Amino acid sequence: MSTPDLPWLASIGRQTLAIEPTPLQKMERLSAEIGGPEIWIKRDDCTGLATGGNKTRKLEYLLADALTRGADTIITYGAVQSNHARQTAAACAQLGLNCHLLLSRRVNWPHPSYLNQGNVLLDRLFGAQLHVCDLDQVDGTRDALLEQLKQEGRSAYEIPAGGSNPIGALGYVRCMAELARQADALGVQLGQIVHASASAGTQSGLVFGANALGLETHIMGVNVFHPSPETLRNRVQHIIRGLCERHPQAGVNAEVPIDINHAYLGEAYGIPSAEGLAAIHLAARMEGILLDPVYSGKAFAALIDQVNLGNFNEHSAIVFIHTGGHASLGAYADAFADPEPA
């Protein structure tokens, strides 16, 4: 699929992994239930690779770069239930690359299913080699692994957590162009976009893409990871600056506004919130759509609350970017043991 509205992007190497375009659907019943602007959902949970998710778009550019550099082994990072790690493992299986996942025990979720079900199970099915360690052991584990691979004569390519750097963010520059075409065809106003933001690649790509396209679109990233929202803001800004340096032909100002909403993180990253669980139940019962308790559930809870507060009343429609993650639901089965949230 070409991007005639961003011709410079079409010339950049990309390894096709995603099924695209992903659907843009109106949430009919849920919109009527909540009231306020129409709610539309961009189904990036349907990218197709290993149950889908937003990391697939980033991996298209990252793995193209890895292959160009002659890599035969991929190393990447994440929490134990990393959606990015799962999609990387699947992509490596598809492309015949060795895959090493450095997974840190950074989430205090003490149930056995967390270490064995969900994404971890899928990582193993895809043949990835898992290196599970405490957070303070990641650097040492990485150094030992790189030395081992060097001794084996491997050519390793490292992908940052979440696939979030100026290369990976191109996946969401491309997504923004895709979404703009769909919204135009469906007559949907792209005034407000909401999505989960953590490793910063999705938000930086969307913001850069919207500005490159000249769209007057407000993009709210719901912080689901960082104790301080300024950390996330700085990471988004850093990636946007990298995109500007690499792609000056896009004509984007590196100091574009960045909106981070920090009100819905809950107790901590990876710990389900009551509001997020309620949003998961609502989306499932009203629309048959699965969200997850770490990313999309908290972001959708933010959308619902912002509608209820009247903060989106100036818009006729809100677009929710579903970044995927439902593969982890089995690992969080204990979060759903209590009665459905009110």
Strand-pairing partners, residue 318, are 39
Record the tokens describing residue 184, joined without a space.
């135009």
Instruction: Check if the beta carbon of residue 176 is closer than 8 Å to that of residue 213.
Output: yes
Q: Which residues contact 175 (CB under 8 A, 6 or more apart)?
A: 42, 44, 57, 205, 206, 209, 321
User: What is the signed CA dihedral for 298, 303, 307, 312, rounded to 10 degrees?
Assistant: 150
SS3 of 148-199: the string is HHHHCCCCEEEECHHHCCCCCCHHHHHHHHHHHHHHHHHCCCCCEEEEEECC
Neighbour-count burial for 169-201, b at 16+ CB within 10 Å, e otherwise: bbbbbbbbbbbbbbbeeeebebbbbbbbbbbbb
User: Is 11 marked active-site?
Assistant: no
Say which of 2, 31, 82, 197 is annotated catalytic: 82
CA distance 292 to 297: 5
- Which two structure tokens, joined as six digits, stand for 202? 């999705």
Calculate Rg over the CA atoms of the chain.
Answer: 19
Instruction: Please identify every residue annotated as catalytic.
Output: 82
